[in-house]
Homo-oligomer: A and B are copies of this chain.
Amino acid sequence: MAGKNIKTMDGNTAAAHVSYAFTDVAAIYPITPSSSMAEQVDEWAAYGRKNLFGQTVKLVEMQSEAGAAGTVHGSLAVGALTTTYTASQGLLLMIPNMYKMAGELLPAVFHVSARTVATHALSIFGDHSDVMATRQTGFALLASGSVQEVMDLSAVAHLSAIKGRVPFMHFFDGFRTSAEIQKIETIEYDELAELLDWQAVADFKARSMSPNSAFIRGTAQNPDIFFQAREASQPFYDALPGIVSDYMDKIGELTGRQYHLFDYVGAPDAEDVIVAMGSVCDTIEETMENLLTDRKLGLVKVRLYRPFVVEAFLAALPDTVKRICVLDRTKEPGAPGEPLYLDVRSAFFDFADAPMVIGGRYGLGSKDTTPGQIVAVFDNLAAATPKEHFTVGINDDVSMSSLDYDPRLSAEPEGTIMCKFWGLGSDGTVGANKTAIKIIGDYTDQYAQGYFAYDSKKSGGVTISHLRFGHSPIKSPYLITRADYVACHNQSYVHQYDLLKDLKDGGAFMLNARWTVDELEANLPALVKRQLVEKHARFYLIDAYKIARELGLGNYINMIMQAAFFKLANVIPIEDAIKYLREGIDAAYSRKGQAILDMNYAAVDAGVNAFIEVEVPAAWADAQDEPTSREIPAFIEEVLVPMNRQEGDSLPVSIFVDREDGHFPSGTSAYEKRGVAQSVPIWVPEHCTQCNQCAFVCPHSAIRPALLTPEEVAAAPEGFVTIEAKGKGMEGFAYRIQTSPLDCMGCSSCAEVCPTKEKSLIMPEIGWDKAEEANWEYFTTLPVRDKLVSKTTVKGSQFAKPYFEF
């Protein structure tokens, strides 16, 4: 990769970079996963970055996407090149104004990180249901499938909108592309300036509304002329594909990356061809290249989805094609087929020798689309009676629509190093991994890719980082299932997740835990033990929390874990890694003084040296856990437990029978104890004034006050300490502050709010406490005490008992 402007960035940054150049005004309302596009434009403007016109972008945040769209429309009408960034419901709110912008031939550009529209449930994740809801508006729709394509096609969108007078929506897969970090080549602003049609900009400005050259926009037209006036804009749509194609050629000349309205890859004599758009194209291409090399297969990547140029589509396909499968990343219930499928069927309709065309749905709500699924799609296409309107990526045991596939199949090229990190949301793991990718991307010839799968619980939820490194471009827009290196940054996760499922045979497993090697026998679950043996894993143990505390870094373990990763993963020589890490520390902390610098240098050294390689006992091959006896409702057992173990992908459609309308039982959090806190509060009875403020402030209701009768005190387990309750009407009651160690997230708000001089709540450096769990179990059996409720204003006191009902 010898290009001049190599940078490591995500898709949103690539879109923001190009869009800034062409934007006078950005009118926005932030929505996941588009927000960081607008945030970066805002930040660059604040720092005075100049667009192609020598000005900083004026960013306007409105009250909603409806207002943002109105602002885009109005801003364009007065001659400002205007851009917005949105997704999902945000995009839906823009639809009325989209018709107006298209009708008035205004060169708006929307960059959309395509996201699922909420139906039976909300999803912040990705599919094309939002984009497809706008295909009738008259906008041009341009699809990118990777971070590099976002960079290149963003430019095509802006350039073509200005020249062609048709507004553009440039879209790419939310999260998968918007948040995937890749090493790419950027296009610089002087290069963009040369491509811009400056006369078209001047003409656009000359057409703008002004009191100095008054005219009317937004008339009301009657049946007499509306239809004629509506058809008058047709020539602009007829001309647009040529303009887009021309700019694709110019970008090709500039970058060496040539795009077409439809790009075909695969065998020149392919008989089986997939038609798709978005990030799945890279998965398909990689699967064809690395898994299905012996078959004559092809792929049409749809770039310009609207206007859909039938002739260009047909010309892109080899004459040999006999069977076509169209993949749509949306579901339109009641339609005779999904949108791209209908377009492709219509394109071939007039030909007597038309190929077979079938369609399927994939990837809804960011369901990971893997090489195994692509193999299944090609297998289905070649079958004697292919399944039509199929789904792939799920087990649909209700409508029987799904294709069987091998979920473990992977298609990365040889030599790709793959790493997977299990971190606690906001523990710094993701940030550290981003640094690692930047180091490898920016300082070496290697390609790097990072993707971060967040739990919807965000802060406090699990984050799984998927990192790939290699010497050829990485076209694997799917999660890692064959990791060379797996790191678990939170000890409690060994009980919760199947951490080693995706470890390669002979791979490395790094566990951060406060256990000694000897304590592993008692604490590691049997599944982990068995997998370590079966996979011939190299097993490493580190107590990064202890090291961090000793170095004065508090809970910040990320520098230590990152150094350990570089030492073990062997992506670059460790000496180089240490050098780059220290340079990064210098850049980040040089103004904070030598002590801070030294502390971080020491963390790097510790990470490289302080872990222990654990010899995996052969006996672990037969490890078995003692059976647990807790009774839980069927829904929890069948749905929530697998979901919480990150195994929800395996749930079949039939699990949702009788809850097709998306309703879930309430009270499920009572069964969702995570125990992820590194430290949980301990009550110091002798200091307590019984003010209940700790319970009031706890965001998870994990700490609660109780009043007990003497009988209840007598029945309490050992260690269930109480004191005499204070206050009028409390005579004869005992009082206690109870912590739920599994619910606590370790935020320490309770300890901070405690008003007593000598704290009645302390946060020792211990996490989940089995003895305290027993106390909590007893606590939840105590009756509600009105007296306690009326004593003071408390939130989350004992009257909020676990509650469950189907």
Contacts and interface: CB of A to CB of B under 8 A. Distances in A.
Interface in A131-183: 132-133, 135-141, 165-166
Given A207-B661, A310-B336, A331 B231 contact: yes
B215 A651 contact: no
A138 B122 contact: no
A238 B137 CA distance: 29
Contact of A119 (B99, B308, B453): B99
A199 interface: no
Contacts of A648: 222, 224-225
A103 B357 contact: no
A237 interface: yes
7 contacts: A120-B233, A133-B137, A219-B662, A222-B366, A223-B453, A227-B367, A237-B333
A231 B396 contact: yes
Contacts of A217: 661-663
| Binding site secondary structure of chain A | loop
Contacts of A136: 129, 132-133, 330, 332, 335, 339
Interface in A185-234: 207, 213-234
A655 B233 CA distance: 12
A219 B122 contact: yes
Contact of A664 (B124, B219, B223, B664): B219
A550 B508 CA distance: 105
A524 interface: no
B221 A660 contact: no
Contacts of A216: 663-666
Given A368-B223, A663-B215, A89 B93 contact: no
Contacts of A243: none
A401 B234 contact: yes
A335 B652 CA distance: 36
Given A136-B332, A214-B667, 12 more contacts: A96-B118, A99-B119, A102-B333, A118-B218, A121-B218, A136-B330, A138-B332, A216-B666, A223-B453, A224-B646, A234-B401, A342-B345
Contacts of A393: 227
Interface string A232-270: 111111101000000000000000000000000000000
Of A99, A129, A214, A331, chain B has the most CB atoms within 10 Å of the CB of A99
A241 to B, nearest CB: 9
A638 to B, nearest CB: 12
Nearest to A341: B346
A337 B349 CA distance: 12
B662 A223 contact: no
A11 B631 CA distance: 59
Given A223-B366, A332-B136, A342-B346, A662 B218 contact: yes
Contacts of A121: 103, 218-221, 226, 229
A530 interface: no
A755 to B, nearest CB: 35
Of A137, A139, A226, A310, chain B has the most CB atoms within 10 Å of the CB of A226
A395 interface: yes
A345 B137 CA distance: 22
What band does the interface of chain A fall in when counting residues whose beta carbon is under 8 Å from B?
Answer: 35 or more
A231 B646 contact: no
Contacts of A333: 102, 138, 233-234, 237, 307
A95 to B, nearest CB: 5
Contacts of A125: 222-223, 226
Interface in A72-102: 89, 92-93, 95-96, 99-100, 102
Contacts of A531: none
A104 B208 CA distance: 45
A686 interface: no
A122 B333 CA distance: 31
A657 B231 CA distance: 10
Nearest to A331: B230
A6 interface: no
Nearest to A212: B805
A391 B395 CA distance: 46
Contacts of A165: 661
B119 A103 contact: yes
A570 interface: no
A1 interface: no
Contact of A120 (B103, B332, B356): B103
A364 interface: yes
B334 A308 contact: yes
B308 A231 contact: no
